[in-house]
Amino acid sequence: MNILLIGGSGFLSGAVARTALAAGHEVTVVTRGRRPVIDGVRALVADREDRGAFGNAVLRARRSWDLVIDCIAFEAGDAQQDLELFHGRVGGLVLVSTDFVYDPDRRRFPQRETEADFLKTGYGGGKRAAERVLEEAGAGGLPWTVFRPGHIYGPGSLLGCLPRHGRDTDLVKRLRAGETLRLVGGGHFLQQPVFAPDLAATLLSAAGQSKAVGGIFNVAGPEIIESRTFYELIAEILEVPLRIEEEPVATFLAEQPDKAPFCCHRFYDLSALRAAGLAVPATPLVDGIRAHVTAELTRIA
């Protein structure tokens, strides 16, 4: 396939690019040019927020794409731009949304894509607005698929899945020093982390999959765990003790109310993903975290 990846120098987009290249696909990425892209991709330089420049960069490439994967659609205007730019011109569009679209105070367990209450503001609200643009347009001229991943982890990202140690630059250093980690709710919120290469494979599996067209799908890993288990596995791999102190949820949210989507159970019904014939993440958590820790040790060495 010939793939266009919007946002090709980030954590997830990098994983998608590597997975696609390993599968023999041609990959073009659109980035702002502020970070290096991975070897083997073709790069277009444009700022997504400059609508005109972004559109011109894509059109000037004079390429046809079998699949466009938008990793950085954060608001309705981004999805609208996708519709205007790619309608009738590409084989399909994948838009990466987030599980933060779900209202943390009104979740159902396991949470399905439908029968859901959604946020209207903040990061999750913006992502939901982007989804709605596609829903309202229909999938006739631009076959689209939306994915809502939960916590994404793996090489290329920082370790940690819960405040105050979510994506913590110094997590390995803290653990090796015997520092007590302060986790909201004591780390007892349930999560279903997804390994980035698995998520990349899921996104790519939407290409040519008629059952996925016009669909919105939860994506999560194979295991539901307490958030603290994520840190326990990291400590075991590092062969250091783990000390956790509970931060009361109410205290934390009084200080940072915008972080409410982190402070709830986050596990999902994946039956729609399976029924559509899409790739279902399967990497065992311990294997994924071991790969993530190994990469982090290399980064800080």
Coil, strand or helix at 213: coil
Coil, strand or helix at 232: helix
Are the CB atoms for 185 and 262 separated by under 8 Å? Answer: no
Which class is 2-156+194-221+267-282 in CATH?
alpha beta
The tokens of 98 are what?
């987030």
Side chain identity, residue 91? G
Distance of CA 22 to the CA centre of its chain: 20
How far is the C-alpha of 299 from the C-alpha of 301, rounded, in Å? Answer: 6
Are the CB atoms for 289 and 233 separated by under 8 Å? Answer: yes
The domains of the chain are located at 2-156+194-221+267-282
pLDDT at 68 (0 to 100): 98
pLDDT at 91 (0 to 100): 97
How does pLDDT run along the chain (301 residues), one tens digit per residue? 999 999 878 899 999 999 999 999 999 999 988 888 899 999 999 999 999 999 999 999 888 899 999 999 999 999 999 999 999 999 999 999 999 999 999 999 999 999 999 999 999 999 999 999 999 999 999 999 999 999 999 999 999 999 999 999 999 999 999 999 999 999 999 999 999 999 999 999 999 999 999 999 999 999 999 999 999 999 999 999 999 999 999 999 999 999 999 999 999 999 999 999 999 999 999 999 999 999 999 999 8
**Residues whose CB falls within 8 Å of the CB of residue 171, separated by 6 or more in sequence, listed in order:** 158, 159, 160, 165, 234, 296
How far is the C-alpha of 32 from the C-alpha of 112, rounded, in Å? Answer: 35
DSSP run (H or E) holding 258: none
Alpha helices in 152-259 (DSSP H): 171-176, 196-204, 227-238, 249-255
Alpha helices in the chain (DSSP H): 11-22, 51-60, 76-86, 122-137, 171-176, 196-204, 227-238, 249-255, 271-275, 285-300
